[in-house]
Amino acid sequence: MGYVDVSAVRHTLSDGRLLLDDVNFRVGEGARAALVGENGAGKTTLLRIIAGDLVPEAGSIARTGGLGVMRQFIGSVRDGTTVQRLLVDLSPPAVRAAWDALEASELTLMETDDERSQMAYADALAQWGDAGGYDAEVTWDTVTVAALGVPYDRCKYRELNTLSGGEQKRLALEALLRGPDEVLLLDEPDNYLDVPGKRWLEDRLLETRKTVLFVSHDRELLARVADRVVTVEGGTAWVHGGGFASYHDARAARHERLAELRRRWDEEHQRLVDLVRTLQQQAANSPDMANRYHAMQTRLAKFEAAGPPPERPPEQKVAMRLRGGRTGVRAVMAEQLELTGLMQPFDLEVWYGDRVGVLGANGAGKSHFLRLLAGQDVAHTGGCRLGARVVPGFFAQTHAHPEWQDRTPVDLLWHGEPDRPGVDRGRAMAALRRYGLAEAGDQVFRSLSGGQQARFQILLLELSGATLLLLDEPTDNLDVLSAEALEEALAAFDGTVLAVTHDRWFARSFDRFLVFGSDGRVYESTEPVFDETRVARAR
Amino acid sequence: MTLAVPPGASGPTPERSDGCRPAEVTDSSVDQAVDRLHVEYAGRLRPQLVVRVVRDCRKDLGGSPVGALPELVERLARYRLDRHIA
Ligand SMILES: Nc1ncnc2c1ncn2[C@@H]1O[C@H](COP(=O)(O)OP(=O)(O)OP(=O)(O)O)[C@@H](O)[C@H]1O
Ligand SMILES: [Mg+2]
């Protein structure tokens, strides 16, 4: 088993902002520690420091046991990465190195099949065996069967972008949980997982003997799994030694204590300032008082140099305003609609103002359905129409936006798009402020945290004038506060909403449910249905 | 990629680190290669030479994963035999 020890870590962003300072905590052997905090607080950055991707500006990390890392973006991989590559990347360094050497020697062999390259290849194979490569391959087979239902050999060349977000996550989690690493850093492992998947994750985290530090915004997961909670806020981190049930009280108490300490400091400061002022007047007439005056001045200077205690972290505010507009009474009409190979034909009528939750297991075709409604090219038979004045606005975090990566939010807002008018800097900043993104306004998109990117995409939706919101897992990556803000905004939205969600708590705010069953049937329900099992489809 | 070769797929492990290795290396990877190459080079090379080259190759490839040996041995032997003819 292993542990992680973080001491006195400091990290400054490239724009000079101090993100983390004096971060100290230990995740002991076998602990299941949650890492929580607002979007952009620095959780992912902290995990990257622990993993060694980033070197802290001050302080140090000590740890034992192999380290396995699952990054936040797994689930939204949209490049040509294959299943095989993902599994290699999640393996211990020795396996990774042996793999790369083996691949290189195979390449050489293909070009020049002489004795030297043959011996080099044989040698690389031997090293692969010594590094535990064959054992890893046996594990990978178990992993792909568990996560995707097919043996490793049949899916190793498959690109991740052909897997759903939940399938990508499941694959990585199976690999890490079954792998040899003793310490796991999991950045939002529950994103994109369907509800049975989240329950599975909870059970696996509870039964594993590995040491786990995981980031999550899902309160159900936090409540079931965490045995301590590390909070990143106010530019530093603090630890609650208990579970999530007692966390809110502990946090409130901490905030009160901070406020109290600060109040006392302010009072003491004021008292010293007053004293100095009084003594200054008295010193004018008495040399004896002059000495006391100078002594008091020194004391005040020392007091001020020591600095005030940290302030209670400010409450974050997020206000989303989704306006919409009146449309025809029938907003969406589907007749004998069938997405090729994904489900059986179904009929659907969605009325203006409806709030429809789209539920079902990972890989059932929910996202394809939303994309079809958004006007994208999705193979289907049967009919599907939008009503009069229905303007779809599509939100999916799994969608790659290569054209955004090197541009800033202010710039993207200024330019606008065909369906979204551009706005000047003043308006852009005002809108960004409402989304808690003012500080990130001039950062390139790629440097925004996962939750900041999600918030920004909701802002784009706000500015687009859509009257039909098509939301694919909108609360993933969002912290609790932003998820609540989104829920409020949806309640006030004048129009129709269809949202795919696996968020048990968010789903309850919808009034109709369209369930994509594991048997390929699509049916309506008045209550949320969370236990559709995984889709058994030939892949 | 020619992976997923289980390490013990063919025959017993001939080499041991404890040093008690058989004087003459014989295992299925040798037999298979000899059989095939024997047919392939019939009329061009003496069978005894094929056997000797294959055995040498097997020895030179000692330490390779057993499961991968048949392929490695045959490949190297074929390369060496071709050079012999040329
Ligand atoms: N190159 C950069 N320049 C400026 N700021 C940056 C840069 N890279 C990251 N940041 C900022 O660092 C902060 C921390 O990001 P990080 O990804 O660690 O947040 P997080 O806590 O994981 O958030 P989330 O819950 O949204 O995943 C964010 O405010 C982000 O915008
Ligand atoms: Mg993050």
Structural domain including A114 reads 82-180
Are A338 and A390 in a shared domain?
yes
Q: 3-state class of A234 per DSSP?
A: coil
Within a domain: residue A538? no
Tokens of A141: 């087979």
Are A387 and A504 in a shared domain?
yes
Within a domain: residue A314? no
Are A338 and A296 in a shared domain?
no
Residue boundaries of the structural domains of chain B: 28-85
Give exposure, A341-359, as e/b (b: 16+ Cβ within 10 Å): ebbebbebebebbbbbbbb
Are A198 and A343 in a shared domain?
no
Nearest partner of B64 among A113, B2, A92, A179, judged by Cα: B2
Chain A residues in contact with chain B using a Cβ-Cβ cutoff of 8 Å: 102-103, 106, 113-115, 118-119, 121-123, 125-126, 128-129, 133-134, 137-138, 152-153
Are A138 and A126 in a shared domain?
yes
Residues whose CB is less than 8 angstroms from the CB of residue A512 and which lie 6 or more positions away in sequence, other chains included: A350, A354, A355, A356, A357, A524, A526
Angle at A170 (CA atoms; ends A193, A53), nearest 5 degrees: 105
Are A222 and A278 in a shared domain?
no
- Which amino acid makes up residue A281? Q
pLDDT the model gives residue A354: 96
Specify the number of domains making up chain A.
Answer: 4
Helices (H) and strands (E) counted in chain A, each on its own, are 17, 18
Cα separation of B3 and B5, whole Å?
Answer: 5
pLDDT the model gives residue A537: 43
Within a domain: residue A531? no
User: Who among B63, B75, B80 is closest to A126 (CB)?
Assistant: B63
Taking the CA of residue A335 and the nearest CA in chain B, the distance in Å comes to: 47
Cα separation of A494 and A382, whole Å?
Answer: 29
Give the distance, in angstroms, between the CA of residue A234 and the centroid of all CA atoms in the same chain.
19
What CATH number did the domain enclosing A440 receive? 3.40.50.300
Are A359 and A503 in a shared domain?
yes
Residue where a domain stops, chosen among A242, A265, A292 = A242
Tokens of A399: 């969608």
Q: DSSP for A378-403?
A: --EEEEEEE-TT--EEEEETTS--TT
Are A117 and A151 in a shared domain?
yes
Residue where a domain stops, chosen among A217, A242, A267 = A242
Tokens of A58: 């001050």
Q: Which residues line ligand 1 (CB under 6 A)?
A: A 13-15, 19, 37, 39-45, 72, 440, 443, 447-452, 477, 479
Tokens of A468: 């039909």
pLDDT the model gives residue B15: 42
Cα separation of A103 and A43, whole Å?
Answer: 35
Is beta strand A32-36 parallel, antiparallel or unpaired with respect to A496-500?
unpaired
Are A146 and A267 in a shared domain?
no
Nearest partner of A123 among B21, B31, B15, A115, judged by Cα: A115
Residues of chain B short of pLDDT 70, as ranges, are 1-26
Chain B residues in contact with chain A using a Cβ-Cβ cutoff of 8 Å: 1-7, 60-61, 63-65, 67-68, 72, 75-76, 79-80
Written as tens digits, the pLDDT of chain A (539 aa) is 799 999 999 999 988 999 999 999 999 999 999 999 999 999 999 999 999 999 999 999 999 989 999 998 887 777 888 999 999 999 999 999 999 999 999 999 999 989 999 999 999 999 999 999 999 999 999 999 999 999 999 999 999 988 888 899 999 999 999 999 999 999 999 988 988 899 999 999 999 999 999 999 988 899 999 999 999 999 999 999 999 989 989 999 999 999 999 999 999 999 999 999 999 999 888 888 888 999 999 999 999 999 998 888 888 888 999 999 999 999 999 999 998 888 889 999 999 999 999 998 877 889 899 999 999 999 999 999 999 999 999 998 877 788 899 999 999 999 988 888 899 999 999 999 999 999 999 999 999 999 999 999 999 999 998 999 999 999 999 998 888 889 999 999 999 999 999 888 889 889 899 999 888 899 999 988 887 765 544 33
Nearest partner of A216 among A451, A53, A19, judged by Cα: A451
Which residues in chain A are contacts of B15 at CB distance < 8 A?
none
Within a domain: residue A256? yes
Q: Is the distance from CB of A188 to CB of A25 less than 8 angstroms?
A: no
Q: Is the distance from CB of A503 to CB of A218 less than 8 angstroms?
A: yes
Within a domain: residue A322? no
Within a domain: residue A532? no
